[in-house]
Amino acid sequence: MKTIFDNIQEGRNHKIIEQCIKDGSINQDSLPYCYSLFSKTEFSRYRSLKSYFLQSIFTYDHLFNIEYLCKHLQITENDSYALKTAKIKRAYFPVTSHNNGNESEIQELIFFDVELESSTLTFPNENNHVKDALISVSKALKRNFFIMFDNYFAGRSFSLAAAAAGLLKEDKLKYFAFSGEVKENANIAKVENLPAKRKVSEEKDLFFVSPDSVDNLNQLTKLNAETVDIPFIQLFGKQKTELEKNLEKISGNEIVNDYKIWVGILGGDKSLVFTHTEEMLENTTEVWDELLLDFYEKINKLYQLPYYVNIHFLGSLSAFAFLSGIVFGAKNKITIHHYQDGSIFRVMDFSEKSVRLLKSKTKKYEKVKYSVGYTETESEDAAIVIYLASHNPKNDAQEYIKSNLKCSMLFLCLENNQGNIDLNEEDWIKTVAEIYSLVDEASELIGKSIRKYHFFMSIPVPVAFGFGMAYGDYKKIAVYNYDKSLSTYKKVADSDLSKNLKMAF
């Protein structure tokens, strides 16, 4: 008696047959024919049916026939049982239509994470391009495995996904789509239509991994990380060569030197890890706000990676670093670096500890002292002048405040060693925390409530950034930067005017 399985090549029967296979609704008489899906050349393109049937064999005991399985998969009995109990991992890869290179879709491969005795890597009736690609992957990984696919495709670009399934943890694989050709020597060669493949991957909310981001399997294993370390440099008024030197110095740190992988995965835009201008910043709120938006967008993108992201920050302008710290906030991992005497030093590391240490309130001030310049009873504003670096801003700031703001003034400076903070992390954190505490208590110190805070600062960049992180965007502020060409201060940010002076997270 004929069954529907005798007409498997009739396209109209595929959906019915597929459902029967998934349900395990196959009688014993049809088993030999179904097992031949794996080996007969006329069934080479029936990848989804083969995939569903092999999974059903391992799900429904009445379908598991060791003799048929060994014969049609060309494996040993030990391999049959090993496949049945093997851990399965899934990896995704984009494929491009041959009719139109711009039409792509995401497909899935199923990887049986098991070392087989036999050399079978996939179904025996799979096409030779796929078999050859899997042989290269097997040699590159120095191990055997078994792979099947959920649909038909042509080409070898899937092989990067196959290697990824062999190397990466399951909880990492789910975030990525892979496209590249793996060579026997573990290098990864470029393939066609990468822009279209990136587009469809991102449309499916998958990060795209290709030879543009990893060029060998050793780099691919970096995707198993839990935390990724990425530099971010701010540099103004310096040539691009200086920027490149600083990037080279900071990425010389072993834990940071893989950052180009993450930049590649995010699209390959090298400027993602810096804000740079060769000219000195024009001291206007419009220019500074535009650059704050640049910083806001870039760190938002970096922290979208499916990892704990730890930024290694190196700045060059205190006032802008303070504003950037406000944008960054106090919720994410970060390591803050300091440039001194041609070298870069790590001065505050929040990769393992809470940034909220910077917000530790205290009444005991060991690093910073204060004085009230004067109290202006007619104004609800207050100017905060902070002097920790070598240049004393007090006189210039005071002149500007009296002429333009006519408000109260609080002056902060170091208790000792003015212009010099030891390269000791505890000292830097404590200094920031004391500044935060004093500014938070400013209304009490001045003796009147404060509507808006006006900041003038000459402080090390890491302190400025850390203070901004601690301070956040909860109060009205204005920030001023000294303009050498005018020999006075100019307002560069104002929470009432600046659209991008807000926390990113």
3-state secondary structure of 79: helix
Angle at 405 between CA 401 and CA 409, to 5 degrees: 55
Classify domain 361-501 by CATH architecture: 3-Layer(aba) Sandwich (3.40)
Q: Could you give the CA distance from residue 14 to residue 47 in angstroms, rounded to a whole number? A: 12
CATH domain 86-224 topology? Ribosomal Protein S5; domain 2 (3.30.230)
pLDDT at 6: 60
Global pTM reads 0.91
Neighbour order of strands in the sheet with 334-340: 274-277, 227-236, 308-314, 334-340, 343-349
Profile the chain (505 residues) by mean pLDDT over runs of 10 residues: 56 76 88 92 89 94 95 96 95 80 83 93 94 98 94 92 98 98 98 95 98 97 97 97 94 85 97 96 97 97 97 97 97 95 94 95 93 92 96 95 96 86 94 97 95 97 98 95 96 95 91
Cβ neighbours of 387 (radius 10 Å):
21
142 contacts: CB under 8 Å, gap ≥ 6: none
pLDDT in tens, 381-392: 999 999 999 889
3-state SS record for 422-452: CCCHHHHHHHHHHHHHHHHCHHHHHCCCCCE
Q: Please give the full DSSP string across 53-67, using - where no structure is assigned.
A: HHHHHHH-GGG--HH
Q: What is the pLDDT of residue 30?
A: 86
Domain residue ranges of the chain, discontinuous segments joined by +: 1-74, 86-224, 228-344, 361-501
Fold: same for 86-224 and 361-501: no
